[in-house]
Amino acid sequence: MESDRCAELAARLRRLEDRNEIVDLMSRYAEGVRLGAADAMAACFTDDAAIEYGAGVVMRGRDEIAAWFASMLEPATRDSPLEFDERLASTPVVSNVLIQVEGDTARCGSTVLAIHAGARDGRSSVVTRGTRNEDELVRTVAGWRIRRRVHTTVWQSEVPADAELRSAEG
């Protein structure tokens, strides 16, 4: 009887630890976006990961993913949904995180309100996007990592920026 209770408590603790680590992984990815750190973003994925980013854009493997993130952060990259001449700041807010863990695999759905400030053609603007990530994750020796992500932009709005803009590191 006591061993059953201990096993049940151990299983509950493991589920809580797994969920916490997955939420932390989503936050580390968002922090990479905020800082404009392509390597930090790519580190959240497995070596064999795939991302479907909409409009037929699919990246395969962590190296290709890291290169794509780096190119998205470059000024006036036409592959970037933002197309800023200068990226000034990003504030991704991750919410509605729903996680289902099954052993060493998991599914995680999350909603992101992504606010990006930048300059294009000499004027500042703010792009706000509502996006959805559907992730398949695996437990690795380094912790949970995303193996497959489907990223969908649900809506997007752009307005001129008239507020003071601070760097992403601030």
Reported as a single tens digit per residue, the pLDDT across 117-162 is: 888 888 888 999 999 999 999 999 999 999 999 999 999 998 888 7
Question: 143: left (phi > 0), else alpha (psi -120 to 50), else beta?
Answer: left
For residues 21 and 79, which has the higher predicted lDDT (pLDDT)? 21
| pLDDT for the residue 83 | 73
Comparing CA positions, the residue from 71, 86, 80 lying closest to residue 118 is 86
Per residue, what are the HEC states of 37-88?
Answer: CHHHHHCCEEEEEEEECCCCCEEECHHHHHHHHHHHHCCCCCCCCCCCCEEE
* DSSP letter assigned to residue 32: H
For a pLDDT cut of 70, what percent of the chain falls above it? 91
Q: Where are the domains of the chain?
A: 2-160
Domain 2-160 in CATH 3.10.450.50: yes
Q: Is the pLDDT of residue 163 over 80?
A: no
- Total-model pTM: 0.85
